[in-house]
Amino acid sequence: MESFSSCVVGTIGPHNDWLFAEGSTRNSFSQWLCLENPGGTDAHVSITYYPSSGAPIKRTWVVGANSRVTVNVNQGAGPNKDLATEVSSDQPVVTECPVYFDYLGWDGGHDVMGFILR
The CATH number covering residue 27 comes to: 2.60.290.11
Q: Is 0.75 topped by the overall pTM?
A: yes
Give the helix/strand (H/E) hosting 39: none
Q: What is the pairing mode between strands 115-116 and 15-20?
A: antiparallel
- Structural domain tally of the chain? 1
Burial class (CB in 10 A: 0-12, 13-18, 19+), 111: middle
Write down the pLDDT at residue 4.
Answer: 57
Q: What is the pLDDT along the chain (118 residues), one digit of tens a residue?
A: 556 555 666 788 899 999 999 899 999 999 999 999 999 999 999 999 999 999 999 999 999 999 999 999 999 999 999 999 999 999 999 999 999 998 888 888 888 888 886 6
Dihedral, CA atoms, 81, 17, 72, 2, nearest 10 degrees? 70
Could you report how far apart the first and last alpha carbons of the chain are, in Å? 41
Write down the pLDDT at residue 73.
Answer: 98
Query: Hey, is 108 helix, strand or coil?
Result: strand
Range of the domain at 14: 2-116
> What is the separation of C-alpha 55 from the centre of its chain, rounded to a whole number of angstroms?
18
Write down the pLDDT at residue 117.
Answer: 65
